Amino acid sequence: MKTPSIESFEQSLSESITDSSKKQYGSIEITPIDSNSSRDSEKDQLAKNPFLDPKVEEYYHQVYSGCDYECYSEFDPQFVWTEEEEKKLIKKLNYRVAFAACLMFVGLQIDRGNLQQAITDNFLDDLGMTTNQYNAGNTVFKVAFILAEVPSQLISKALGPDVFIPFQICAWSIVAMSQAALSGPWSFYLTRALIGMLEGGFIADLVLWLSYFFTSKELPVRLSWFWTTSAFVGIFTSLLAFVILRMRGIGGWAGWRWLFFLEGSVTLLIGIASFYMMVPSAVQTKNWMHPKGWFSDREIKIVVNRILRDDPSKGTMHNRQGITAKMLFNSFIDYDLWPLYVIGVMAYIGSGTFGAYFLPPPSCRLLKKFQFLRYSSYFLLRYTHSNMVKALIAVTSYYDVFYPNGAKTGLFVCEAIEPFLEFRKKGYEVDFASETGTYGLDAHCTHPDYLNGEAKAAFDDPKSEYSIAISNIKKASDVKVDEYDIFFASAGHGTCFDYPTADNLHAIALSTYQRGGVVAAVCHGPIIFDNFIDPATGEAIVKGKNITGFTDEGEEFLGVFNVMKEKNIETVNQMAKKLGATYVAPNGPWDAFAVVDGKIVTGVNPQSAVVTAEKTIEAFESK
């Protein structure tokens, strides 16, 4: 049926309509306004209800019936209701519609934001990806998102947002969950593209659905609830990620894999629930899930007529009617909308461009360019990220005969595990590295006097975070020297052989120190300071500083003092004196004891591994 123009109605309705006349449209009886009312009163009434103008009423009856508008049966220009009734109804709409929309928006924000949280859990290294590849994946997402915007809205208008939105949420949730199985750059690009394509147009689709129930004055307020929800979701998911990322090692999965799987599961549940939460329109709320519907007959009439009186054009299409090519073209050439497009483009240039590179260390590219120290950048970003400090635990590569009984020395394992556990409790990312990328265990290090409790449990469990991390030990030359905030030298007598000449470990430690990080060592670990020179002064980093380490008395107790002398190996005490540092001795060789001097933290023995790690954390966080 061809829709008549308003001009044709003006011509055909040129005769006056008396106040006693009645018009019948199907089962709906309409009574025109009293022609004797005052002009001011008429203007006020028409502002609230444009259908009181007989010509407008006649026109829109033809339009609504011609387009099969689903709510036409409830259209009644003469229908009245009280302010109290409307307030009560709006409360119901807030619960049924606005709250449901905010919950669905939560699903969008969860799967949008967890990638940046995953970055804090060694995501790039686990996948063998570079920052450039990560940025390329984000670009793929944005391009797919933009390209899907218009097609998504066209599909939603044709099928109905109550059908398409639940499908969107469920579909992108499944893809988001599948990110737990990422294996490299190409799978990353693929999932980014699919998520962008499925999320594109979602907000516009949701706004369309909201417009079926709220007036033009009410809708902006409900949209503001969206963005408030977004902020709260960002806070909550950051805290949730702090917990989930600690699951690294459970089931052999990295923390970020659990993050994608669990948060994707939450959004999938939201998507399934949205089939229940959404209805086609105010007159179509009764179905097998809602046998009684949302509204009484009177409430339905209020919902429909208040919306149409606010904006009569909302009834010019039915809710399963697609957009034609001509309609789409006309929307593009509507120059009244062009300023909104410009605002949309310009509004996020600053935050979007800057934020893409304002990532957690070690990817704070702009912060580095601006010469922020690493600890400064960490605290600057800390309000949104809990898991962003990176610590490197250095391990000796030496593994050979050392003890008089022919036993070998190497890594004294509790001096690596215990710092690792303390750093992970703080949410820090922790990597292991040795000069050659290999290590062996000291023959005595698993004795119950040294390896017990939580450390032993981590050591014995092949799926523990520690076991996974140490199995992925890096070769120091393969590590980016500017990647870490904390450098911690674990020990074992093997360190006496390779730490003094470990140039690549020295480079990492020096970079950490120069950028404001903390360099720590325990037991024989302070041997790392031998040949560790400050380029600015040409002198040893520890010159003039207080340090500690394994005591000469302890070496004699173990029966290796003479062995070290024969092999021309210095004790920590001897090295300290050579470098111009002050050696601070504990009361006893087996006391838990640590010394802090600025950004240098040292501990005495295996019993000091925990307290040295704790002092390291304190030194870092006090900067």
Distance, in Å, from the CA atom of 278 to the CA atom of 162, rounded to the nearest integer, reads 5
Within the chain, all domains assigned CATH 1.20.1250.20 are found at 83-347
pLDDT 10s digits, 141-160: 999 999 999 999 999 999 99
- CB 396 within 8 Å of CB 588: no
pLDDT on residue 381: 41
Q: What percent of the chain has pLDDT over 70?
A: 86
- The CATH H-level (homologous superfamily) assignment of domain 389-621 is Class I glutamine amidotransferase (GATase) domain (3.40.50.880)
Distance, in Å, from the CA atom of 112 to the CA atom of 114, rounded to the nearest integer, reads 6
Band the pLDDT of 26: cuts 50, 70, 90. very low
How far is the CA of 579 from the CAs of 13, 172, 189, 508, in angstroms?
104, 60, 51, 20
Within the chain, all domains assigned CATH 3.40.50.880 are found at 389-621
Active-site entry in 199, 263, 483, 555: 555
Strand segments (E) across 11-144: 23-25, 28-30
How far is the CA of 20 from the CAs of 34, 36, 384, in angstroms?
8, 12, 68
* Backbone phi, psi, residue 550, to 5°: -60, 135
pLDDT on residue 305: 94
Distance, in Å, from the CA atom of 429 to the CA atom of 248, rounded to the nearest integer, reads 11
pLDDT on residue 380: 45
Q: In this structure, what DSSP letter does residue 288 have?
A: S
Band the pLDDT of 48: cuts 50, 70, 90. confident
pTM of the model: 0.57
CATH number of 83-347: 1.20.1250.20
- CB 513 within 8 Å of CB 520: no
Given a cut of 90, whether residue 24 has pLDDT beyond it is no
Buried b (16+ CB within 10 A) or exposed e, 537-554: eeebbbeebbbbbbbbbb
pLDDT on residue 361: 40
Band the pLDDT of 235: cuts 50, 70, 90. confident
- CB 416 within 8 Å of CB 432: yes
- Averaged pLDDT for residues 515-525: 93
CB-facing half-sphere around the CA of 270: CA atoms within 13 A: 26
pLDDT on residue 16: 35
Look-up of token digits 């003479």: 562
Active-site entry in 57, 58, 524, 614: 524
- Concerning whether 523 is annotated as a catalytic residue, the answer is yes
pLDDT on residue 46: 67
Active-site entry in 523, 570, 618, 621: 523
Given a cut of 70, whether residue 385 has pLDDT beyond it is no
How far is the CA of 334 from the CAs of 338, 339, 341, in angstroms?
7, 10, 11
Distance, in Å, from the CA atom of 242 to the CA atom of 121, rounded to the nearest integer, reads 10
More confident residue, 402 or 348: 402
- CB 163 within 8 Å of CB 275: no
- CB 608 within 8 Å of CB 414: no
Given a cut of 50, whether residue 527 has pLDDT beyond it is yes
Distance, in Å, from the CA atom of 182 to the CA atom of 191, rounded to the nearest integer, reads 9
- Concerning whether 385 is annotated as a catalytic residue, the answer is no
Distance, in Å, from the CA atom of 204 to the CA atom of 158, rounded to the nearest integer, reads 14
- CB 502 within 8 Å of CB 583: no
Q: Which of 334, 513, 474 is nearest to 393 (CA)?
A: 474
pLDDT on residue 21: 38
What's the sign of the alpha-carbon dihedral 244, 247, 250, 254?
positive
- CB 362 within 8 Å of CB 391: no
DSSP SS3 for 358:
strand
- CB 428 within 8 Å of CB 486: yes
Q: 2-11, 42-51, 336-345, 529-538: lowest mean pLDDT where?
A: 2-11
The residue type of 65 is: S
Band the pLDDT of 33: cuts 50, 70, 90. very low
Distance, in Å, from the CA atom of 424 to the CA atom of 430, rounded to the nearest integer, reads 7
> Helix axis angle, 99-119 relative to 219-244, nearest 10°?
40
pLDDT 10s digits, 400-440: 999 999 999 999 999 999 999 999 999 899 999 999 999 99
Distance, in Å, from the CA atom of 231 to the CA atom of 221, rounded to the nearest integer, reads 16
More confident residue, 434 or 349: 434
Q: In this structure, what DSSP letter does residue 551 have?
A: -
DSSP SS3 for 314:
helix
- Concerning whether 555 is annotated as a catalytic residue, the answer is yes
- Averaged pLDDT for residues 385-408: 86
C-alpha 504 chain-centroid distance: 34
